[in-house]
């Protein structure tokens, strides 16, 4: 049998050339879609970076540290934890007004959060340094959020920027 000639007698391409055209078209579509996706990613990433640069985060200045008296918290299995915390306040921008610049914090919110965070945990959880730091970090986030205030313009401001564990005794 003789092989079929790919071109007809008049020079026109046979249907096998159409398959190549479809494959090339599909490859071009994939490349175009990938390029479009990469372009969108680069453009939106650039906008995010520009927006972050446009709104600088305010630098917090440490103020007074309010040391809270240690409290005892019931742990699981009849054990207890005696924990003391210091609250690192944010320095007030206008400390010289009628208030005299005192930034003493009321510890009631912090005590409530300490009790709710550490109550009924096991001694094994708190004996592990990684777990203890995890619970401290959770407590710090909750305390920072609890001491948020609003200024005259309605803007949210931090009253506490961090906590320190001043005592931590389990029995």
> Do residue 26 and residue 70 come from a single domain?
no
CA atoms of 89 and 107, how far apart (whole Å): 12
Q: Do 90 and 18 reside in the same domain of the chain? A: no
Please state which of the ranges 11-20, 90-99, 153-162 shows the lowest mean pLDDT.
Answer: 90-99
Q: 71 and 110, same structural domain? A: yes
In a domain, 119, yes or no: yes
Q: In this structure, are 90 and 123 located in the same domain?
A: yes
Question: What are the backbone angles phi and psi of residue 60, rounded to the nearest 5°?
Answer: -90, 135
Burial category of 118 from C-beta neighbours within 10 Å (exposed 0-12, middle 13-18, buried 19 and up): buried
CATH number for position 115: 3.30.479.30
Say if residue 20 is in the same domain as residue 88.
no
Q: Would 7 be classed as within a structural domain? A: no
Model confidence pLDDT, tens digit, residues 95-136 = 544 444 555 789 999 999 999 999 999 999 899 999 999 999
In terms of residue numbers, what domain contains 25?
Answer: 14-56
pLDDT tens digits along 21-79:
787 877 777 777 777 777 666 666 655 555 555 556 668 888 899 999 999 999 999 99
Q: Specify the number of domains making up the chain.
A: 2
Q: Does residue 48 sit within a domain?
A: yes
Model pTM score: 0.61
Torsion of Cα atoms, 122 then 127 then 133 then 138, to 10°: 10
Structure token digits, residue 103: 């930034």
Q: Are residues 18 and 42 in the same domain?
A: yes
Domain assignment present for residue 157? The answer is: yes
The residue to which tokens 């917090």 are assigned: 60
Closest by alpha carbon to 165, among 96, 84, 97? 84
In this structure, what is the dihedral angle of CA atoms 144, 149, 150, 156, given to the nearest 10 degrees?
Answer: 0
Domain assignment of residue 84, yes or no: yes
Residue 90 lies in a domain: yes
Q: Is residue 35 part of a domain?
A: yes
- Provide the β-strand partners of residue 72: 82
Nearest to 142 by CA among 120, 165, 116: 116
Residue 99 falls within a domain, yes or no?
no
């Amino acid at each position: 049998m003789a092989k079929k000639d790919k071109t007809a007698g008049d020079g026109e391409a046979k249907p096998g050339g159409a398959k190549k055209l479809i494959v090339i078209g599909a490859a071009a579509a994939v490349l175009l879609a990938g390029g479009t996706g990469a372009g969108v990613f680069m453009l939106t990433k650039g906008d995010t970076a520009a927006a972050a640069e446009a709104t600088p985060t305010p630098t917090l200045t440490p103020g007074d540290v309010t040391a809270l008296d240690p409290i005892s918290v019931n742990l699981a299995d009849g054990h207890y934890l005696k924990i003391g915390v210091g609250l690192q306040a944010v320095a007030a921008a206008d400390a010289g007004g009628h208030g005299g610049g005192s930034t003493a914090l009321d510890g009631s919110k912090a005590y409530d959060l300490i009790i709710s965070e550490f109550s009924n945990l096991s001694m094994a959880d708190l004996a592990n340094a990684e777990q203890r730091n995890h619970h401290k970090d959770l407590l710090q986030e909750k305390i920072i959020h609890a001491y948020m205030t609003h200024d005259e313009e309605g803007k949210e401001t931090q009253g506490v920027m961090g906590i320190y564990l001043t005592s931590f005794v389990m029995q």
